[in-house]
Amino acid sequence: MPSSIRSRLTTRSPASRRRAQSPSDQGLIGARLRSLRQQQSLTLRDVATATGLSVGHLSQLERDLVSPSIKTLHDISRALGVNISWFFQDDAPGNRLEQYVTRGDARQRISFAGGVDDYRLNSSAVRDLGLLYSTFEPGASSGEADYTHEGEEAGLVVAGALELWIDGQATRLDAGDSFSFPSTRPHRYRNPGAEAAVVIWAMTPRSY
């Protein structure tokens, strides 16, 4: 990445959310992505250079015409100096105990391309641990390419099946199976079954 771009890719505080969203819209990230890029005085071409994505694809993401793959959002987050958790809605204010609680009907969601939805289970009160409820439609995947990031992750398949690739090798996990691995190993995953899969996913440090 050119040093001139790297020097401009710094972490910023989240901007205000866009217009009030209905529950069906809460998984969209376009407005937040555009806001973060503009706060850093970056053009679409700057981000394209830093991520290897096309300007056209980034423009479609910002307009919510397409959803990102998991790898794509990791790449964008890394380039813009935030983690994926930045793109979730801010936690609603509550009483002292509520800051530690995530209610089942108030989970924050990001929808990815191809039928993957991630719901954040951890509250913002924890900094180093992430916990997700992930759903995968039949055939849904993290993308065709492996990806890596810092940390460790583990999961439990609650329903359906998950095909997990690590270091170029694949294994199938069914309901009741669990896994854990260093996130620095090249990995990807998909639902190979004919029904939806549900996975409880934990990671540290928190990338969600």
Whether the predicted pLDDT of 105 surpasses 80: yes
The domain ranges of the chain are 3-87, 98-204
pLDDT digit string (tens) for 149-165? Answer: 999 999 999 999 999 99
Domain 98-204, CATH among 3.40.50.10860, 1.10.10.10, 2.60.120.10, 3.40.30.10: 2.60.120.10
**Full 3-state SS string of the chain:** CCHHHHCCCCCCCCCCCCCCCCHHHCCCCHHHHHHHHHHCCCCHHHHHHHHCCCHHHHHHHHCCCCCCCHHHHHHHHHHHCCCHHHHCCCCCCCCCCHHHCCCHHHCEEEEECCCEEEEECCCCCCCCCEEEEEEECCCCECCCCCECCCCEEEEEEEECEEEEEECCEEEEEECCCEEEEECCCCEEEECCCCCCEEEEEEEECCCC
pLDDT digit string (tens) for 172-190? Answer: 999 999 999 999 999 999 9
Work out the average pLDDT over 19-37.
67
CATH topology of domain 3-87: 434 Repressor (Amino-terminal Domain) (1.10.260)
Give the DSSP letter of residue 29.
-
